[in-house]
Structures are given as C-alpha cells and as structure tokens.
Amino acid sequence: MNPSAAKRILTYLLLALAAAAFLLPLLWMVSVSLKPTREVFRPDPLPAHPTLDAYRAVIGVSVGQDTATTGDRAVERGAFNYVLYARNTLIITVLSLIGMLLSSSIAAYGFARLNFPGRNLMFAICLATMMIPFPVIMVPTYMIFKYLGWIGTFRPLWAPAWFGSAFNIFLLRQFFLGLPRELEESAMLDGCSRWGCFWRIMLPLSKPALAVVALFHCLAVWNDLIGPLIYLSHQDQFTLALGLQFLQSRSGDTPWNQLLAASTLIVLPVVILFLFAQRTFIRGIATTGLKG
C-alpha cells in the first residue's frame, strides 16, 4: 500500500470516529425515547419492546383514555404540549428572522458601500458589542421591556432582532465587500437609486450569505432558553426549549422517555433544515471572506 493511500484511509477512519462520537448520543436519545418506562434504565442499547407511546404523550395523541401506558406505570399526558410549544417557537422564529435579515443586511450594506464620516469607528463599536455578555444587559433590558408593558408577551423575543446583530452585520458586510462595485455603478448610470441597487442587485446576489445568517439565527432562536425563561410568564406561551426544561424540572420522577422523545422532535426540524440548506450553507461560508 502506497503512503498516499494509507494516509487517505487513516483520514477517513478519523473522520468516521469523529462522526460516530457525534452520532452516538443522538442514536441513544432516539433509542431511549422508544423504550417503555420499565426499560429506560436498562443498559441494552436497543429497546426490547419498542413503543411510540412517549411520542404520543408528547404530541398529545390519546392512548387509551387519559394516560399513555408505557410498561409498568402510566405516564402523565399534558406535561409537554409539543404542538403548542412548536407553534410559539415558530412564531418567534419567523418574526425575528424577517427582522434580522432586513436590518442586518441594510446595516451591512451601509458599512460596505456608503462613505460617511465615522463609518469605521461606528463599525468598530458595532463589533465591540459582541464582547458584552448577555447577563450584563439582562436587567436594563428587562426594565425597558417592563416599562413598555411587553413582559409576558412574545415581543421581547423577536423585536430586538429588527435592530440587527453585530455578528450578522459583520458577516454580510464582508460578503458585500466581495461583490464588484461595477454592478451598482452600471445600474445607477441607468437611473437606479441606491435603494434599488441594494434591493434588486445586492440582495439577490447575497442569497448564500443570507442563508448562513438565517440558519445561524434560526438555530439560536430555536434553542434559546434564557429569553423565554425571563420574559414569558404563562405555560401556554412556552417555547420548545422552555417546555423541555419545564418537563425535566417537574416534581417527582422525570419521564425520561418522554423527555428524550420531546428532545428528538425538537432536534428533528433542525436536522432537516440543515440537510436541505447544506449546499447553500457551505457555499455561503466559502464565499464569505475576510476582505475589508
């Protein structure tokens, strides 16, 4: 065997081991979610009597009458309302995603293409905000939303996204800097306004970078726990992450098969989204350079 082939085989082997390290916890999660309650703590990797009762209980599908029987005891239904929590999370995700894409792309275009006094200083200040941890601004932000009367609503969770994000502004600015100025200059010679150049030329060409921003933001909102924990006060407003934490912290025995069934249902949309957007995501990462 020549050295290059041996090196290739070793590389693939290491990649396979790394992939297995990431996949095994997910496979274990799915396996436990399919086990009845009496088998949850058994060391067997696969369920001896697989059942979907935990998923039915999480989704809210009736099993029997008022309980979903999983083995030797009845599992309480209604502890995790996946449909309701998914709806709440989806509302927050869509509203914040629209605002994030619009505000961050407009700000990034201004930093990349418009020459105005103090541009570099303002951009540096914008980047410096990434170094401020959320606990530092948590109390002042809460007081502002309380003054506005937004506590107990979804607004604190999606309204700030309409003012942009430093990381996303930086990412889109770097992409805009890589686009040739001749495209805008030609359009402006034909009578196109600055806003028209942004809306009709820059944004269509920026789909890979926008896809990366959208994916990152969706993941952040989908998995956010601190924000809903602070601002939401009623269980019918819970998001998926907060509902999952509520299910785990219930008094008494935690229904681990339900907990992992809910975790599987929460992870599944993220995996599907990445699989469909994988090519665009990789293209966006590859074409977003560090020019500037």
Question: How big is the chain, counted in residues?
Answer: 292
Between 163 and 290, the more confident residue is 163
Distance CA 82, CA 86 (A): 6
The pLDDT score that the predictor gives to residue 278 is: 73
Q: What is the pTM of this model?
A: 0.83
Of 224, 221, 215, 223, give the one whose Cα is nearest residue 272. Answer: 215
Between 229 and 279, the more confident residue is 229
- CATH numbers and ranges of domains, the chain: 3-76 (no CATH), 82-287 (1.10.3720.10)
The pLDDT score that the predictor gives to residue 211 is: 87
Task: Specify the range with the lowest mean pLDDT, choosing from 16-20, 44-48, 199-203, 210-214.
Answer: 44-48
Distance CA 230, CA 217 (A): 19
Task: Specify the range with the lowest mean pLDDT, choosing from 118-122, 163-167, 242-246.
Answer: 242-246
Note whether 108 and 119 are within 8 A (CB): no
Distance CA 271, CA 218 (A): 12
Between 162 and 281, the more confident residue is 162
Q: Could you tell me the sign of the dihedral formed by the alpha carbons of 43, 46, 52, 58, in that order?
A: positive
How far separated are the first and last CA of the chain, in Å rounded? 47
Note whether 36 and 75 are within 8 A (CB): no
Distance CA 56, CA 206 (A): 42
User: Is residue 125's pLDDT more than 90?
Assistant: yes
